[in-house]
Amino acid sequence: MQIRFADTRPQGDYALVVPVAGKDRSSLAVLGKAQQGVVAALDRQRFEGEPSSASEQFIADNGSVRRLLVVGMGSGEARGGEAAEKLGGTAAARLQTSGEKTAVIDLTGLGYDADAAARVGLGAALRSWRYDRYRTKLKDSQKPTLEEIVIVGGGAGAAERYGQRWAPVVEGVSLTRELVTEPANIIYPETFVERVRASVEGSGLELEVLDRAAMEKLGMGALLGVAQGSVREARLLILKWNGGGQGGQPTAFVGKGVTFDTGGISIKPAAGMEAMKWDMGGAGAVVGAMKALALRKAKANIVGICGLVENMPGGNAQRPGDVVTTMSGQTVEVINTDAEGRLVLGDAITYAQRNFKPGTIIDLATLTGAILISLGHEWAGLFSNDDGLADKLQQAGAESGDKLWRMPLAESFDRLIDSPIADMKNVGPREGGSITAAQFIQRFVENGVKWAHIDMAGKAWSDKAAATYDKGATGFGVRLLDQYVADVLER
């Protein structure tokens, strides 16, 4: 989807999009003589201009018939941020398969500044993303036709703001969605690495990959234990962005990358198991964020680390009751092989600390079904050992739309993962399952390191469409990390 900005509406054939604030019809003055008829039609439809609502009409315009889409923004002074993105996303969703090739969103007289106008473009670009690679028999009515969206009336600087700040985010989210959407026979640890390598080429990111032999040498028994039942060998992917100059501690983003999770010997039920292709959503978010940061030349030093494995049953698979030695030297009794993501993260976090000495670590993982019971599909769970870090991440989540809800950590929960034969076991009781999982990960965080864990099991994939994504991969986490960097590390 091409996003352009202009001072005035172009000539020629296009669909016209005009936003209205609730029942206020004043923005329709841009329609000239057609305004009266459009207002009458809206009144007949009982159109109240709620956010993301839309009314489609056809109007006479200079001797031709033009498609008009009136999009509601809600009442009040909703002009920036989320409201702007909803406007762009609603327009794109309604017109994507309409037969129109060009849409013009006219913001004239609505008071949009450059960033708000740019975020209309952001919402439109994000909502337009589709992945039709494996669809060979789409009906004509299902094929996307919309090629270009022109945003008018955003003021000077909107095009530059979109190009420098938000277009890189679109690229990053798109990479994440692509990786999460691909089936597990296409994306597995080795091909995940190669897909990322090709996608970030020329971005300035430094890329390093560890294979099984290298990880064995480092003593990554937890991560490799998860992978040993699969014919697909594990990988550790490291992406480095040095935009903040020399010196100082970097920030580390660590992602769980289980490219398919059967549960291993503790195998999952068959119903719905196909969804486990997105169990690498945390790693997907990390690489998408790293690409976005590199493309916009973020002034920060960041390292992204992805532990990539496939969790399969097999003759060599890890068994319940096995004891593994992690890179940190701590031992783990594996009670449940379906609690594998925390094993991967433990070794990946240890690697990050030993090799990069980060002051802050943020890990992202589709980790527990228990977080779904707590927060549904509306928020990701946030756990942290630092109140300031937690507050900043929640603020970034509110601004970006990747919402977080803080969950507790406590010694009483930590005791629940003590093992009678090893340093710890990889699961506690059913109650508080997302909390004991976070407590497990915290045991690998060294003293003095600020750490946050984001359990995004309910957010990587959606069974319903929203303002900035269709059903399927959401790209959750990319915008969160990007906004955190902008708000905290680039200040």
Q: Which domains does the chain have, with CATH numbers?
A: 2-154 (3.40.220.10), 166-489 (3.40.630.10)
Would you state the structure tokens that stand for residue 115, as one six-digit string?
């960033």
Rounded CA separation 387/113 (Å):
34
* pLDDT computed for residue 342 by the predictor: 98
Amino acid at 461: W
Give the residues across from 258 on adjacent strands.
309
Rounded CA separation 344/286 (Å):
15
In degrees, rounded to 5, the angle at the alpha carbon of residue 391 between the alpha carbons of residues 362 and 398 is: 90
Rounded CA separation 206/186 (Å):
24
β-bridge pairing 148-152 and 424-425: unpaired
**Residue from 394, 176, 458, 381 nearest 290 by CA:** 176
* pLDDT computed for residue 77 by the predictor: 60
* pLDDT computed for residue 137 by the predictor: 93
For the chain, the maximum distance between any two Cα atoms, rounded to a whole number of angstroms, is 83
| Residues ≥6 apart with Cβ < 8 Å to 216 | 224
Three-class DSSP category at 446: coil
**Residue from 76, 89, 157 nearest 120 by CA:** 89
Give 234's DSSP letter: P
In order, the DSSP letters of 323-347 are EEE-TTS-EEE-S-TT--HHHHHHH
Give residue-wise pLDDT tens across range 83-135: 999 999 999 999 999 999 999 999 998 889 999 999 999 999 999 999 999 99
Q: Which helix (H) or strand (E) holds 69?
A: strand 64-72
Q: Which helix (H) or strand (E) holds 75?
A: none
Mean pLDDT of the chain: 96
Mean pLDDT by 10 residues, the chain (491 residues): 95 96 93 96 96 95 92 76 95 98 95 94 98 95 97 92 98 98 98 98 98 98 98 98 89 98 98 98 98 98 98 98 98 98 98 98 98 97 98 98 98 98 97 98 98 98 97 98 98 83
Find tokens 């703001």 and name the residue. Answer: 161
β-bridge pairing 102-106 and 206-210: unpaired
Give me the active site residues, please: 268, 342
Rounded CA separation 474/459 (Å):
7
Would you state the structure tokens that stand for residue 286, as one six-digit string?
């990390």
Rounded CA separation 51/395 (Å):
22
